[in-house]
Amino acid sequence: MPVESGADPHPPAEPDAGGVDARHAARLAEQHWNAAGRLTRLPADRDDNFLLLSATGARHVLKVAAAAEDLATLELENAALRHLRAAGPGERVPVPLPAADGRHVVMDPETGRAVRLLTWLPGTPLATARPRDAALLAAAGALVGEVDAGLAGFTHPGADRILAWDLARGAEEVAARLRHVEDPRRRALLEAVLERVAAEVAPAADQLRRSVIHADGNDHNLLVGPARPGTPRTVTGLVDFGDMLRTWVVAGPAVAAAYAALDTPDPLGAAAALVRGYHARHPLREAELAVLDALLRLRLAVSVSMAAERSAAGTAEPYHLVSQAGAWAALERLSAVPGAVAHAAFRYAAGLEPWPAGQRAATAVRQSKPVAVVDTPLADAPAAELGPGSVAAAEAGAALEPAAWHAVIAAPAVAPWGASRRLDAPEVAAQEGPDRISYRTRHLGADLFLPAGTPLRVPLEGVVRAVCTGPRGATLVLAHEVDGAAFHTRWTGLASASVAALREEARMRAGEPLGDVAYHGENGGWPPHVHVQLAATDPAGIPDTAAPDEWPWLAALCPDPAALLGLPPARPAEHDLSARRSALLGPNLSLSYARPLHIVRGRGAYLFDADAQPYLDCVNNVAHVGHEHPRVVAAIRRQAAVLNTNTRYLHPLLVEYAERLTATLPAPLEVVFLTCSGSEANELALRLARAHTGRRDVVVLDGAYHGNTSALVDMSPYKFAGPGGAGRAPWVHVAALPDPYRDPRGMDAFVSDVSRACRRAHAAGAGPAAFFAEPLPGCAGQVVPPAGYLRDAFAAARAAGAVCVADEVQVGFGRVGSHMWAFEADGAVPDIVTLGKPIGNGHPLGAVVCTRQVAASFANGMEYFNTFGGNPVSCAAGLAVLDVLEKEGLQASAAAVGGALLEGLRTLAERHPLIGDVRGRGLYLGVELVRERGTREPAAAEAAHLVERAREHGVLLSTDGPLHNVIKIKPPLVFGAAEADRLMGVLDALLGEDALRR
């Protein structure tokens, strides 16, 4: 419900008792407005506010003003609200309704308090919205801007008020209360704010527009509509005009941005989103943008200093203090953000060049003639790989355990400005938390990889501004001025001893020694290198890398230093390939996620996009032993460098792989055919079954998907019964999906349905050639059939003369944990088993393994040949996968991690009613979402929404099932306990968000 708050933006958790009870308020409403109905008290800090619900369902707000409320102030509010109804946001602000006698303010003679009746605005406070994402904050800023723009032409004698919350006098208010802040560290934060205001705001005061503004666009006064999966949330209203006054226009976005900055790990990003929306409705001038950051911090300082004074006086109510922890946290986080960075961010949000001085500095450097920094011709140096994952790194790491993978960078080499530092999976797991979805990976400088001890020279004359040491060696900051353009350079990674004699303010001439490249041990464990950064302002506090969303303004502050180093300008990488892809590829080739990912590499259980942002991969079972596992990569490279040919020649790897593969399978599965994919494997299995039985018909499970060839699409209900499908072919017979959650009939009924499908095949012709079944149906919804189903279903199919085919493309090779093959967990043994790309870890490799009897029937004189099936490189990949499975104990890990994850997901189901069922084995799990557990109504929109939100949190999931409401979890088997905890934390947080909470 809307909250009518007063001077403090956060109402009490429990409303004040107030001086007016609901019965008296009801009499006032009926007597003066002829409005009858049920009254419910609303939270408020000064007034007595009531929701009036009439018998017809109409809603209004009855406001009984505090005894000390000035009548002129209420008349100001009423006049402004009537003005706005015609000149601004219309129905998104409340409107005072006239009493029966025409008055908009009625005095209650019994209490002496003023009474008003206002229209009701639907919605809930922005403060309670989860999540408060950038789009929602921008929409909130837009409404505040629209209100302030509507008030720009409004005048009223009561608007020239003196309020403690007025930011035009905020510095005085903070200074007067500073003594009540006892913590020296916190007092220093407020003193720093006052210094900023004195230095930046006071000199610009004459340039700041004045107007009547709302002045209290906080997160309890802004109302938002209901959260619906897949639909942007709307901002429905702005209430509480009690702090409205004539003051600086820029105070409006400053106040609103201050509250956007609360309770977020990225206060600047949140504030910038709100400013973007405000500026779109009420454009800010450059002088106003220049002081916006200082005023935002001042608003937080006013709030905490007032709370400190009230606490010291013993007059603080709970609602006076509820926002203080968040305000102090925001001030502390913002204290690490230089004013120049915030100013550039707000300019970018307003659609302006973030930092014009950056271009001037870059131009001045290009037009100067810098001295060569080193004798090595850097322009000819190769591009450096910034982190694990380069070819050299994979090769060197092949003999190492995964935790010991390291970067290998040759010297000399250059990592240009804008290059992304690639994170390693262990580093990601250690750093990322549930609320952090963006890493600073794009370099704001250039990295020069040079032999340790290489001397560097000063490229341009400058003055030493700072010399310090840290975990990455020594840092030297020089100030320069060229043709009137002032800028700085920052050099990090220098040997401490080489700059020990330098002193601040010392002038350094171009060409004289700058320092030496630090050794490996002094350079944070990286290969020796120096990070060179050009900054168009004081670089203190400016990071040396940027997150993708920060890049536009931080790159403007720190332009490309290439000209300073004698390098060609950095070429920005192309990150959006969507248009080119759409123009060249088939329109039915889909992309995952509303904002498609541009993935450039993988490592373990993680994928990395073009900005090196990490994504925990919970769905790509093809990378069975981990993305780009160094052992598999090394095996492929070694064999590709020697020989790659076909199976018409003898080669030991083909035989060795067939021996190793059949050793994992039970008798009598002992004859191997190698293919290039799971689809090829299933197509071949169909041919084998038909050759062995002399029949053509097949029995499949409802919802099944077996591959993308014409025959397999025809026998996959997931395809032929879906969009674009041609329907069931006469030779295909469908048995019921053995889904205990959706079909309560039980195992006997499921097995009987296989027998019925076989009888239909006999009625249609010669009978079934094969019964194809995934032991754990995947596209059908990660289904776990009743125990023993596959064993009994195979028996029923064999009784009808069919060959039994276990499609293990998705679930085999140790994924279920308890067994190497999923059919083993059910006590079943097929006649044919088919395997797909997971057995090559993504290398195109598939296999069919069958009995000798089936293989003999296939040897009918027609040669079977597959050009690439069983080639030496694919066999090398397959052998490496088997090695990794054994040496790293991944099957046992799948059992342990999958079991813990299954229990954790069931615990989540106890807290989140949206989860209807949790099922699976090992690292093959499904979470079915339903809108109501009793009816089991599928929550397809909610599932899609959850997948999209998880992607924003750096976790990749997908949906499946005929009702599109099952979250599938089938990650690489290197997915460990840390990754499981990460997944659980994200799911728990997202299921608690408004659009998914039930």
Interval 323-342: pLDDT, tens? 788 999 999 999 999 999 99
Q: Which residues of 695-734 are buried (b: 16+ CB within 10 A; e: fewer)?
A: bbbbbbbbbbbbbebebbbbbbbbbbeeeeeeeeeebbbb
Instruction: Label residue 460 exposed, middle or buried (CB < 10 Å: 0-12, 13-18, 19+).
Output: buried
What is the per-residue pLDDT for 3?
A: 38
What is the per-residue pLDDT for 888?
A: 97
C-beta of residue 341 within 8 angstroms of C-beta of residue 333: no
What is the per-residue pLDDT for 380?
A: 82
Tell me: pLDDT of 399 over 60.
Answer: no
Angle at 768 between CA 766 and CA 771, to 5 degrees: 175
Residue 909: count other Cβ atoms within 10 Å of its Cβ.
18
Pairing type for strands 113-119 and 106-108 reads: antiparallel
Tell me: pLDDT of 849 over 90.
Answer: yes
What is the per-residue pLDDT for 142?
A: 98
Where residue 468 falls (left for φ over 0; alpha for ψ -120 to 50; beta otherwise) is beta
The three-state secondary structure class of 580 is helix
C-beta of residue 74 within 8 angstroms of C-beta of residue 59: no
**DSSP structure class, residue 201:** I
What is the per-residue pLDDT for 312?
A: 87
DSSP 687-713: HHHHHHHS--EEEEETT----SSHHHH
Least confident piece of the model among 217-231, 281-295, 312-326: 312-326
What is the per-residue pLDDT for 401?
A: 36
**Helix-helix angle 286-313:251-260, to 10 degrees:** 60
C-beta of residue 194 within 8 angstroms of C-beta of residue 174: yes
Tell me: pLDDT of 431 over 70.
Answer: no
Please report the beta strands in 153-302, taking only residues with DSSP state E, as ranges in sequence order.
210-213, 222-224, 235-238, 245-248
Q: What is the mean pLDDT of residues 878-903?
A: 98
Q: What is the mean pLDDT of residues 245-250?
A: 98
Q: What is the mean pLDDT of residues 464-490?
A: 95
Tell me: pLDDT of 770 over 50.
Answer: yes
Q: 581 falls in which pLDDT band (50, 70, 90)?
A: confident
Q: 13 falls in which pLDDT band (50, 70, 90)?
A: very low
Position of tokens 């209650």?
A: 108
C-beta of residue 497 within 8 angstroms of C-beta of residue 548: no
Q: Which pLDDT tens digit goes with each residue over 853-862?
A: 999 999 988 8
Task: Compute the distance between CA of residue 720 and CA of residue 572 in angstroms, rounded to an integer.
Answer: 44
Q: What is the mean pLDDT of residues 671-679?
A: 96
What is the per-residue pLDDT for 421?
A: 79
What is the per-residue pLDDT for 386?
A: 62
C-beta of residue 114 within 8 angstroms of C-beta of residue 65: yes
Q: What is the mean pLDDT of residues 417-431?
A: 71
Q: Which pLDDT tens digit goes with each residue over 289-321?
A: 999 999 999 999 999 999 999 888 887 565 555
Q: Which pLDDT tens digit goes with each residue over 637-669?
A: 999 999 999 988 889 999 999 999 999 999 999
What is the per-residue pLDDT for 69?
A: 84
Q: Which pLDDT tens digit goes with each residue over 32-55?
A: 999 999 999 988 777 899 999 999
What is the per-residue pLDDT for 837?
A: 87
Q: Mean pLDDT, the chain, as a whole number? A: 91
Q: What is the mean pLDDT of residues 484-507?
A: 96
Q: 585 falls in which pLDDT band (50, 70, 90)?
A: confident
**Neighbour order of strands in the sheet with 924-929:** 915-921, 924-929, 966-969, 958-960
